[in-house]
């Protein structure tokens, strides 16, 4: 496409240059000839006053030699007479041409050896017609024409080169966005869902890039919605399952109670299987990209509104802080909602009824920190709790009873932004789960990645604002 545009521009510019340069060159040549013959007419008119006074040879000879063309041998006078024609000066025109001009009474230009001869008729006092001949060399007729033609050729060549350069730049400006769009379409087709196209270039290609990015966002959203149909079973079913499990625990002993508890356990197992399957089949965006992002405050307020109803039923005190302003993070809305539901679901599953919990959002220059804290008993081995995603076993008791996917979901969300997940002791006395979400793909300093340390770079004022955490606290899974 680029070279085709260059070729078209080259052909069009060349035709325009030829269409203007060739006629202009011919006009310049005609103007040079007209200027030479006009000078010749002026020189011929210089001898006319002498011819009107006398036809004496000596007088005419002195008059001819006194002029510049006569002195250079370019002027001749042909005077008719009874004893024969009188020719003064250097003659180049033939007698026939002279006789023709004398008879016609009009000036004429005839071609002679080495140039052209201007024959100008002049009336004598006797009534006869004399002919003044002025020789114009061929060099004077074309004087300056070659230089003008060279200048025209140079200007035409410069126009062609300039047009080719401009066409090449325009071609690059058009081709590069088109190539990026084609490459992005190929990447998206290969499953790299984070691929986007810079919205630049000509208007049409910018519109195509906007449409492509919108389509890619919709594809990501559709896939996220599809995953959510399965993965959100953990959010929609865990709450009633938690209530059923708590109610089943209060049924006492007996076959019906055991059957109910077994049914609840089986249902939880099936839900865990669905969650695990959805998690394993989840397509991951390429390059650590997480989609279009979302407002963390809005998502947290929405999910807290969902869980607050169950908290009220169980007599739990709930505190929410730091969500009074918009906090944009590079995490898709369904991903953040899944992570929050996993943590809040763990609070309800692994702490007694009436246990208070809180969610705090802290915003620093390069990161957003979400703290989920509770006043429960915590766990003794935080590292094992973080390892549950791999083992699928309860870290505290070693018994099977957890999918191990709760913290794994949260950890993947945090690490997709360059952040991490940590657990520690909360100010409420129980577990604190800290989600470090990078805003620009940056990661915490390696020397500060231990549990209970500060995440990333913080100012002293920001350190004082954040709750203290220490090693040895627990977290739900």
Angle at 392 between CA 389 and CA 393, to 5 degrees: 120
What string of pLDDT tens digits covers the 477 residues of the chain? Answer: 566 666 777 777 778 878 877 888 888 888 888 888 888 888 888 887 877 777 777 888 888 888 888 778 888 888 887 556 777 887 888 888 888 888 888 888 888 888 888 888 887 777 788 888 888 888 888 777 888 888 888 888 888 888 878 777 777 777 777 888 888 888 888 877 788 888 877 788 888 888 988 888 888 888 777 766 665 656 567 667 777 777 777 777 878 778 887 887 777 777 776 766 665 555 444 444 444 578 899 999 999 998 998 899 889 999 999 999 888 888 888 888 888 988 998 888 889 999 999 999 998 878 899 999 999 888 777 777 776 444 333 433 333 344 455 677 788 888 888 888 998 888 888 999 999 998 875 554 443 443 333 333 333 333 333 333 333 333 344
Q: Are 407 and 386 spatial neighbours (Cβ–Cβ below 8 Å)?
A: yes
Q: Measured between alpha carbons, how far is residue 450 from residues 12, 203, 390, 426 in Å?
A: 70, 51, 20, 16
Helix (H) / strand (E) element for 123: namely: strand 115-123
Whether the Cβ atoms of residue 97 and residue 110 lie closer than 8 Å to each other: yes
Contact 253, 225 (CB under 8 A): no
Distant-in-sequence, close-in-space partners of 211: CB < 8 Å, separation ≥ 6: none
Please, what is the end-to-end C-alpha distance for the chain in angstroms? 57
Res 137: pLDDT? 87
pLDDT at 393: 38
Distances (CA, A) of 359 to 347, 364, 373, 431, 444: 11, 17, 6, 12, 22
Report pLDDT for 22.
81
Q: Residue 189 has what pLDDT?
A: 83
- Burial readout 132-152 (b: 16 or more C-beta within 10 A, e: otherwise): bbbbbeeebbeeebeebbeeb
In order, the DSSP letters of 227-248 are HHHHHTHHHHHHHHHHHHHHHH
Burial class (CB in 10 A: 0-12, 13-18, 19+), 324: exposed
Sign of the four-CA dihedral 252, 256, 262, 268: negative
pLDDT at residue number 457: 35
pTM passes above 0.75: no
């Amino acid at each position: 496409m680029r070279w085709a545009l260059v070729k078209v521009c080259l052909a069009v510019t060349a035709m325009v240059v030829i269409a203007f340069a060739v006629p202009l060159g011919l006009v310049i040549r005609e103007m040079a000839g007209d200027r030479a013959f006009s000078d010749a007419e002026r020189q011929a008119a210089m001898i006319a006053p002498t011819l009107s006074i006398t036809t004496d040879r000596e007088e005419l000879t002195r008059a001819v030699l006194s002029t510049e063309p006569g002195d250079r041998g370019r002027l001749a006078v042909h005077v008719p007479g009874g004893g024969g024609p009188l020719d003064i000066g250097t003659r180049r025109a033939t007698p026939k041409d002279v006789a023709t001009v004398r008879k016609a009474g009009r000036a004429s230009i005839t071609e002679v050896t080495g140039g052209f001869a201007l024959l100008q008729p002049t009336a004598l006092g006797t009534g006869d017609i004399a002919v003044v001949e002025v020789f114009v060399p061929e060099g004077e007729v074309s004087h300056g024409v070659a230089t003008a033609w060279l200048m025209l050729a140079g200007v035409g060549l410069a126009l062609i080169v300039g047009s080719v350069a401009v066409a090449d730049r325009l071609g690059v400006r058009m081709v590069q966005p088109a190539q990026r769009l084609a490459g992005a379409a190929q990447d998206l087709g290969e499953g790299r869902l984070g691929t986007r196209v810079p919205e630049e270039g000509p208007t049409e290609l910018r519109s195509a890039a906007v449409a492509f990015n919108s389509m890619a966002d919709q594809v990501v959203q559709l896939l996220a919605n599809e995953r959510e149909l399965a993965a959100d079973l953990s959010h929609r079913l865990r709450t009633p399952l938690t209530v059923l499990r708590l109610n089943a625990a209060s049924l006492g002993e007996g076959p019906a109670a055991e059957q109910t508890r077994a049914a609840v356990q089986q249902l939880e197992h099936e839900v865990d299987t669905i969650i695990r399957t959805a998690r394993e089949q989840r397509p991951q965006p390429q390059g650590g990209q997480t989609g279009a992002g979302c407002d963390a405050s809005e998502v947290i307020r929405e999910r807290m509104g969902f869980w607050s109803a169950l908290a009220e039923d169980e007599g739990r005190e709930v505190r929410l802080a730091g969500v009074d302003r918009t906090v944009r993070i590079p995490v898709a809305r369904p991903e953040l909602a899944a992570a929050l539901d996993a943590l809040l679901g763990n609070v309800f599953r692994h702490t007694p009824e009436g246990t208070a919990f809180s969610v705090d959002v802290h915003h620093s220059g390069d990161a957003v920190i979400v703290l989920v804290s509770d006043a429960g008993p915590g766990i003794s081995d935080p590292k094992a709790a973080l390892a549950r995603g791999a083992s699928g076993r309860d870290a505290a008791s070693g018994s099977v009873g957890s999918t191990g996917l709760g913290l794994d979901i949260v950890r993947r969300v945090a690490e997709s932004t360059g952040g991490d997940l940590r657990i520690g002791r909360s100010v409420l006395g129980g577990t604190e789960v800290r989600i470090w979400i990078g805003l620009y793909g940056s990661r915490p300093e390696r020397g500060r990645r231990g549990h209970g340390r500060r995440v990333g770079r913080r100012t002293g004022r920001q350190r004082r604002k954040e709750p203290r955490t220490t090693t040895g606290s627990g977290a739900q899974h």
